[in-house]
Structure formats: structure tokens, C-alpha cells
């Protein structure tokens, strides 16, 4: 016979006495574990993203993604890196390139440690891409006259020791692997601001003047830094443009095309 006052089911009593962990304790443990894991990631990731041309986290994330994404598609490489400034702040500099496709400004930027603002003809960028290229700092300019707001802004940027990129042919070369006439505007910028020039030869990109095939068509692209040039102030803007074109012709071996292609809207 059981004694009075003794529990009838000791197993049930032991089961009911096990404490239940409050929800906030579980949440705290999970958050603490995530914090311990994320601290090393943040310590490494944030400086890595800041080691981009603009030294900003959002730009750095886009820049690193673009580097990897376009390398998988285009297998691009940089050559002649000894001619390229190695610093993120090289001072005033005009980056002059031939124009092989819509991918050109991205490829050049991906192999440069400094931030490049690009000068392009007005109304050449499809509306779908305008928010993105505006974030990249593209300046629109009319080629009808050198006295435009876009060109004046370009001169101010160069005089403020920033880097400006330009395609003096004015249009993607059709047919490809030829060098068209250079607009005298490139000589005007050099002469007006006394900026040094980084001459770039872009080759191996997809043979198209359409936007999406240029961006997404597989290729083995090459960005060659031909020379770092400074010009005599006594030269005219035409002489500067001609010398740049001839130097690119010598480096590439591509034929010179004398007919002028009028700039038009890019096709998606």
C-alpha cells in the first residue's frame, strides 16, 4: 500500500519539471551565432568592396559583380599595363579608345583602378540602360558643336583632376577591325586642358553594334594600353587628333577608314 502524500506517477512529475527555454533565449542564441559568423565576413567584405574605383560599397558590389560576370562571358584581359596609372587618383587624364562595341566602357573600367567618366553622343543609350549608365557617370554631348554644356562639363572635370573616357570615332566601327576618322573634339579637350592621354586599343569583342549581343555574346576580349602620351601645347587640335589616330593604327595594324560614320542610336 502506498503511503499517503507520495506521488502516484513519479515519471510524469519528472517530465513536467523539465524547464522549457523561452523563445527570446532561442532567438538570442541564433542571432548571436549569426553575429559571430558575420563579423569575419564583414571585416573582409567591406574593405574588398571599397577597393574599387569609386571606393563606395554599393558601387563596389556592382563593380565586383560586373568583373566576374563579364569575365565569364568575355574572358577579357588587360595588356600593356605598364602604361596605365596604378593609382586610384591619377589626376587629370583623358582615356582615348577605339569603339568596338557597347561593352567597351565596361571592359576598360574593369581593368583600371581609377574611376572613369565616359563622354558619349546624346541619345545613343537605350532608355532601358539609362539609369545604369547615369549612375556610372556618363556625360551626354552633342557632336554638332564644341560649345555645348556637356563639353564644358567635360573640361571642368578634367581641370578638377578627374578621368574622362572618350571614343573619338563617334560610333561603333562597322565593319569591325578598322579605325575611322577621329573627331577634332578629342584634340580640343587635350589642348584646352593640357591633359595627358591614355591611348587604349580594344579588340576581340563581339562583332556587332547592338547592345545586348555586345554585352552577352561570348568573346575573348583584349584591352591594350598602347601608350601614355603628353602633347606639345603648340600643336593644333587637328594635329593632336591625327597623331592619336596614327599611333592607334600603328599599334593595332588595323586599316584606316576615311569615311565618317554619323552617330546613331544603339539598337537593343
Burial of 76 (0-12, 13-18, 19+ CB in 10 A): buried
DSSP state of 181: P
pLDDT digits (tens, 9 = 90+) for 141-177: 554 444 466 778 889 999 999 999 999 998 888 889 9
**Residue 139 clears pLDDT 80, i.e. is over it:** no
pTM: 0.79
The reported pLDDT for the residue numbered 5 is: 54
pLDDT in tens, 224-240: 999 999 999 999 999 99
- Return the pLDDT at 143: 47
Mean pLDDT score of the chain: 83
User: In this predicted model, which residue has the larger pLDDT, 48 or 16?
Assistant: 48
- pLDDT at position 266: 37
The whole-angstrom separation of Cα 200 and Cα 175 is 19
- The grid coordinates of residue 51 equal 577597393
pLDDT, tens only, 84-107: 999 999 999 999 999 999 899 999
- pLDDT > 90: what percent of the chain? 51
Instruction: Count CB-CB contacts under 10 A for residue 32.
Output: 10
pLDDT band at 28 (very low <50, low <70, confident <90, very high): low
Tens digits of residue pLDDT in 30-43: 777 777 777 777 78
Enter the C-alpha cell of residue 168: 573619338
- The pLDDT of residue 144: 42
Domain edges within the chain: 74-252
Query: What region, left, alpha or beta, does residue 98 occupy, with left being phi > 0 and alpha being psi -120 to 50 degrees?
Result: beta
Give me the percent of the chain exceeding a pLDDT of 70.
75
Ranking 51-60, 67-76, 138-147, 157-166 by mean pLDDT, the lowest is: 138-147
Amino acid at each position: 500500500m502506498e503511503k499517503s502524500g507520495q506521488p502516484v506517477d513519479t515519471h510524469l512529475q519528472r517530465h513536467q519539471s523539465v524547464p522549457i527555454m523561452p523563445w527570446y533565449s532561442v532567438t538570442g542564441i541564433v542571432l548571436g551565432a549569426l553575429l559571430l559568423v558575420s563579423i569575419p565576413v564583414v571585416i573582409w567584405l567591406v574593405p574588398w568592396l571599397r577597393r574599387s574605383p569609386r571606393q563606395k560599397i554599393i558601387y563596389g558590389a556592382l563593380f565586383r559583380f560586373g568583373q566576374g560576370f563579364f569575365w565569364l562571358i568575355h574572358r577579357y584581359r588587360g595588356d600593356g599595363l605598364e602604361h596605365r596609372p596604378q593609382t586610384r587618383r591619377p589626376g587629370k587624364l583623358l582615356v582615348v579608345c577605339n569603339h568596338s562595341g557597347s561593352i567597351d566602357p565596361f571592359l576598360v573600367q574593369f581593368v583600371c583602378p581609377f574611376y572613369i567618366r565616359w563622354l558619349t553622343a546624346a541619345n545613343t543609350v537605350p532608355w532601358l540602360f539609362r539609369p545604369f549608365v547615369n549612375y556610372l557617370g556618363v556625360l551626354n554631348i552633342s557632336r554638332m558643336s564644341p560649345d555645348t554644356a556637356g563639353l564644358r562639363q567635360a573640361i571642368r572635370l578634367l581641370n578638377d583632376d578627374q578621368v574622362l573616357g572618350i571614343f573619338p570615332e563617334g560610333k561603333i566601327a562597322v565593319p569591325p577591325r578598322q579605325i575611322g576618322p577621329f573627331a577634332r573634339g578629342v584634340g580640343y579637350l587635350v589642348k584646352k586642358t593640357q591633359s595627358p592621354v591614355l591611348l587604349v586599343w580594344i579588340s576581340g569583342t563581339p562583332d556587332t553594334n547592338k547592345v545586348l549581343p555586345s554585352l552577352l555574346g561570348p568573346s575573348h576580349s583584349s584591352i591594350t594600353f598602347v601608350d601614355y602620351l603628353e602633347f606639345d601645347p603648340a600643336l593644333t587640335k587637328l594635329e593632336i587628333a591625327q597623331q592619336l589616330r596614327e599611333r592607334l593604327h600603328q599599334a593595332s595594324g588595323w586599316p584606316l577608314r576615311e569615311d565618317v560614320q554619323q552617330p546613331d542610336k544603339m539598337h537593343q
